[in-house]
Amino acid sequence: MLDKFREAKQLEIESLHKNFMEGHLPAAYQGPRPSFVEAIRAKGPGAIIAEFKPASPSRGVLGENLNPLDFADIYARNGAAAISVLTEHKYFKGTPDFLFMMNGPGLPLLRKDFIFDPLQVAMTASSPASAVLLIARMCDDAEHLKQLIDIARMPGLAPVVEIFDQADLDRAREAGADIIQVNNRDLDTLTTTLDQGRRFIKQKRDGELWICASGVDTRAQVEEMAGLGFDAVLIGTSLMLADDPGAKLAELAGGK
């Protein structure tokens, strides 16, 4: 799947490089960029990062004619600390436009996509996003990941580095990452187990912010992950499939 995700981004990256060679580099966003880290710390441990994604590779289309503006308001009203915004089109039916559409309530936005080229990070900086997802295993090595982290930090983006195995965590640490997201879903096989989070959180260090992603859909699981040391839990599918996403989020957030 990772190879398919990478392939799906090639046309976008080629277009960004063409524009760059012609002297067109996206200007950094000049509006407010609320702190992703501060928002998580204020509601953590176990803060909820509520995700907006119209589709997923494992579940297909999650809803028809979904309005991102409505979801931004629902998430802001019902306890989300931040919003994860899928911007990948082929597999998740997302678009970078969602970042502008969901900016109204003022929650920090995490751009979630398959980002492994410096110009993709620069493009993210031209949006209202407060954070950008970087998947450790999509980078060639720690130096490649460090380059992306450094570019993200320059305009004030928080680089969230996603890991799945020990090699990923080692690469993230070598690259200087201080926000670690443990993906409980194997992106190669799309199978999910919370044992991933339970195992890796034992390696959390002082000063790091850790996020548990995928597979959490009950308040008891949120409380368990918080008790283990996760500052935040990223929840998407169960919110997107809920008859009442606001009520589901309020339940997951437990009044936070």
Nearest to 102 by CA among 157, 52, 175, 42: 52
Q: Report CA torsion sign: 46, 52, 58, 62.
A: positive
**Cα 43 from Cα 100, distance rounded (Å):** 24
Instruction: Please state the rounded mean pLDDT for residues 62-90.
Output: 94
Give the tens place of pLDDT for each residue, 97-119. Answer: 999 999 999 999 999 999 999 99
The pTM (predicted TM-score) of the whole model is 0.94
Q: Does the structure show a pLDDT above 80 at 144? A: yes
Q: Report CA torsion sign: 67, 68, 70, 71.
A: positive
Asked if 119 and 95 count as a contact pair (C-beta separation under 8 A), the reply is: no
What percent of the chain has a predicted confidence (pLDDT) above 70?
99
Total residue length of the chain: 256
- Beta strand 209-213 with 179-183 is parallel
Residue with tokens 């710390």: 41
Instruction: Please state the rounded mean pLDDT for residues 157-178.
Output: 97
Residue 23: what are its φ and ψ, rounded to 5°? 90, 15
User: Which residue would you say has higher pLDDT here, 7 or 47?
Assistant: 47
Q: Does the structure show a pLDDT above 70 at 256? A: no
**Cα 202 from Cα 227, distance rounded (Å):** 12
**Cα 51 from Cα 210, distance rounded (Å):** 17
Give the tens place of pLDDT for each residue, 209-223. Answer: 999 999 999 999 999
Q: Cβ atoms within 10 A of the Cβ of 206, count?
A: 4
**Cα 115 from Cα 134, distance rounded (Å):** 6
Instruction: Please state the rounded mean pLDDT for residues 18-27.
Output: 87
Residue with tokens 């443990």: 182
236 pLDDT band, cuts 50/70/90, is very high
